[in-house]
Amino acid sequence: MISLFPKDEVFYNLFEQQAIKLKEASKILDQLLANPENIKEYAVSMKKIEEEADELCYKILDNLRNSLITPLAGEDIELLRQDMDNIMDCLEKATNRILIYQISAPYPQAIPEYIGIIKRAIEEISFAVKEIKNVQKFHELLYKRCQKINRLENEGDEVNRRALKSIMTINDNPSPQKILEVIKLKEIYETLENAIDFCEDVGNIFELILIKNR
């Protein structure tokens, strides 16, 4: 049944729950750095969190489909849902690849650098999804969070450039093992970089909401 009235709390609460799942995922990455020998356990935990986040996405879609009036523009709700889900997918994929590619500790410096940036971006997102309930009240604070997320994405670009340069600096006749290592790390780096890019996409949606609600 289509509802004629906005379900403000439903959408906002689901976005907040999505953000909570992202924070849980970022904590798993922290634990992975601290205890790499438990990678199998962390990969299982990350997959569970990702599946729970998927369920939240379905709930958002169901409510969007059944609501005639929404607290935010329908396309903004869908984009926010999608990009937050994309972040989660990248975190799950990166953890999975570290496991199946048997990347051993100590991890290359780029991995904790990426994770640090992702954690800070997710922290800003988790605050922002609460503040979009009252855009007028938190307008300036939300704008500053968007700026910070953008700066974090720039930091991610710098990490990515250094990381790719490091793994691509190989001898003229690299061994098959070295080539395989480059391929594995390149995919993991790109996946973590994509997570940061999707964080910026979320920040861009917040900026769009700010513009629409001036």
Where are the domains positioned within the chain? 8-212
Distance CA 188, CA 180 (A): 13
Q: What is the mean pLDDT of residues 168-182?
A: 79
Exposed/middle/buried for residue 154 (C-beta within 10 Å: 0-12, 13-18, 19+): exposed
End-to-end Cα spacing for the chain: 32
Encode burial over 39-61: b for 16+ CB neighbours within 10 A, e otherwise. Answer: beebbebbeebbeebeebbebbe
Q: What is the pLDDT of residue 172?
A: 65
Model confidence, pTM = 0.93
CB contact at 8 A, 21 and 53: yes
Q: In this prediction, what percent of the chain has a pLDDT beyond 90?
A: 78
- pLDDT exceeds cutoff 80 at 8: no
Q: What is the mean pLDDT of residues 202-209?
A: 95
- pLDDT exceeds cutoff 90 at 126: yes
- pLDDT exceeds cutoff 50 at 3: no
Query: Which one-letter amino acid corresponds to residue 163?
Result: A
Can you identify the CATH homologous superfamily of domain 8-212? Phosphate transport system protein phou homolog 2; domain 2 (1.20.58.220)
Q: What is the pLDDT of residue 1?
A: 38
Of 71 and 197, which is predicted with more confidence?
A: 197
Q: What is the mean pLDDT of the chain?
A: 92
DSSP state of 125: H
Distance CA 62, CA 58 (A): 6
- pLDDT exceeds cutoff 50 at 145: yes
